[in-house]
Amino acid sequence: MREHAVAISGGGPTGLMLAGELALAGIDVAIVERRENQEIVGSRAGGLSSRTLEVLDQRGIVDRFLKEGQIAQVTGFAVTRLDISDFPTRHNYGLALRQKHIERILAGWVGELPVPIYRGRELTGFAEDGTGLTVELSDGSELRASYLVGCDGGRSLVRKIAGIAFPGWDATTSNILAEAEMEAEPPLGVHRTALGMHAFGREEYEIRDGKVVFASEGPINVMVTEKTAGGTGEPTLGDLRQALIDACGTDYGIHSLKWISRFTDMSRQAATYRKGRVLLAGDAAHVHSPVGGQGLNTGVQDAVNLGWKLAQVVKGISPETLLDTYHAERHPVAARMLHTTMAQVALQRTDDRTEALRDIVLELLAMEEPRKKIAAEMSGLAIHYDLGEGHPLLGRRMPDLELATPDGRLRVYTLLKNARPVLLDLGAPGSLEITPWSDRIRLVHAGYGGPWELPAIGAVPAPAAVLIRPDGYVAWVGDGTQDGLRESMNAWFGSPG
């Protein structure tokens, strides 16, 4: 029987990111993935948010994605695009890049790390005991692991076997996605009819001056709202033809399907992200309409929050209670995401009353303060973990400042490449003492004389020192003394004794 410290069910973006985080921390982790290779059929998520780009920058791999995607102001809220070009971040934009490319690039990174992937196999069951879990696979083999993480999607078998409730709201809308040939050319772009939204495009496109320009030929990508939301399972070509006729008055002579799928606005969230030695991340923990493009990004950020915590527990550095902070921090983030996604779905309805509401929302989002607030939230830059009262930085993402250090000028995010915590000392060298934790926390003496700014908040007081977690969030802010530093290091990075 093969043994690993952590087994991950599902090798999509969330599972890949989590495996990479654990491997960077020196944890023996393996992925179980039903696909024989990383290829996916269909057009799922289509981009990366500003905060996800920052996370990838923290690990030194963001350029791999930027090289293949298209930078654009793609942050939006239902009916309008929100410009974040004035936000204080190196990545004050979104990146248009289809999920198949995101997965391929992540898989390439994970392939450089010691992470075995058991392909062509699925988790079929597991049993937990006092020391770990025995995981059953579809080929009849078994794995032994100390922890199991379900990154296996909205229909998560891990979640179901663990008995974790998945409360929420049933679907009110249903859409068909497909790629096919059409005898008649449809009007490319996004359209609204009495039934709802529909869109036509092509796999190949460019973004020019903020607008999508599709290739002049090739199969058509279709998204169309169905007349009723009762559809379940995989749709057929006949379903697609009928939906097109209902929405557009014609099916455009659609034929030769390449792929087809259905999505709804069903919104559900796991009641808990941890039950014993079983944890959930990504779509296994939360499902919702793709409107707003937050699903994949939230899953990747789930993984970055969980990875270092799980690594410390596996190593015996921290008690298992540290894993409870994963649920405490990430559950509210996804709950808010479900809330904003449902609001966006409601704003896309086409009755006269919704049109009136949409006009008011557009007026509000044209104002500076509402634009900044909602744009910071939609881009992931407004995430704030409740780590207590104090400096505005506490519990928020660390800005990627350019520091003056004895080794030359360095960006903050380059210090996080190996997923280790960093204590940034901006005062006199030697003013902070962390000797008992020096094998766990990297102490960096640096100078910085520029402004400290946070998206949607603005300027904040310059701190004397900052303790940065491996996920890039601030765990402690110093005012020139060591008050609270030992307590914070002990809480997040384990007792030195």
SS (H, E, C) the chain: CEEEEEEEECCCHHHHHHHHHHHHCCCCEEEEECCCCCCCCCCCCCEECHHHHHHHHHCCCHHHHHCCCEEECCCEECCEECCCCCCCCCCCCEEECCHHHHHHHHHHHHCCCCCCEEECCCEEEEEECCCCEEEEECCCCEEEEEEEEECCCCCCHHHHHHCCCCCEECCCCEEEEEEEEECCCCCCEEEEECCEEEEEECCCEEEECCEEEECCCCCEEEEEECCCCCCCCCCCHHHHHHHHHHHHCCCCCEEEEEEEEEEECCEEECCCCEECCEEECHHHCEECCCCCCCHHHHHHHHHHHHHHHHHHHHHCCCCHHHHHHHHHHHHHHHHHHHHHHHHHHHHCCCCHHHHHHHHHHHHHHCCHHHHHHHHHHHCCCCCECCCCCCCCCCCEECCCCEEEECCEEEEHHHHHCCCCCEEEECCCCCCCCCHHHCCCCEEEECECCCCCEECCCEECCCCCEEEECCCCEEEEEECCCCCCHHHHHHHHHCCCC
CA dihedral of residues 274, 104, 294, 312 (deg, nearest 10): 30
User: How far is the C-alpha of 293 from the C-alpha of 44, rounded, in Å?
Assistant: 10
- Give the chain's mean pLDDT: 93
Each residue's pLDDT tens digit, 268-323: 999 999 999 999 999 999 999 988 888 999 999 999 999 999 999 999 999 999 99
Region of 332 (left: φ > 0; alpha: ψ -120 to 50; beta: rest) is alpha
Q: Is the confidence at residue 201, as pLDDT, over 80?
A: yes
According to CATH, what is the number of the domain 174-264?
Answer: 3.30.70.2450
Q: Which one has a higher pLDDT value, 183 or 497?
A: 183
- Is 2-38+47-168+268-378 CATH 1.10.3720.10? no
pLDDT number for residue 469: 98
Token pair for residue 22?
């654990």
pLDDT number for residue 193: 81
Q: Is the confidence at residue 422, as pLDDT, over 90?
A: yes
pLDDT number for residue 496: 87
Q: Is the confidence at residue 44, as pLDDT, over 70?
A: no
pLDDT number for residue 46: 78
Across 228-232, 301-305, 347-351, 445-449, least confident range: 228-232
Q: Is the confidence at residue 133, as pLDDT, over 80?
A: yes
Q: Look up the CATH architecture of domain 402-493.
A: 3-Layer(aba) Sandwich (3.40)
Q: Which of 220-229, 296-305, 479-488 has the highest mean pLDDT?
A: 296-305
pLDDT number for residue 159: 98
pLDDT number for residue 349: 87
Name which of 110, 105, 88 is nearest 21 in CA terms: 110
Domain borders along the chain are: 2-38+47-168+268-378, 174-264, 402-493
pLDDT number for residue 480: 83
Q: How confident is the model at residue 372 (pLDDT cuts 50, 70, 90)?
A: very high
Each residue's pLDDT tens digit, 157-198: 999 999 999 999 999 989 999 999 999 999 998 888 878 888
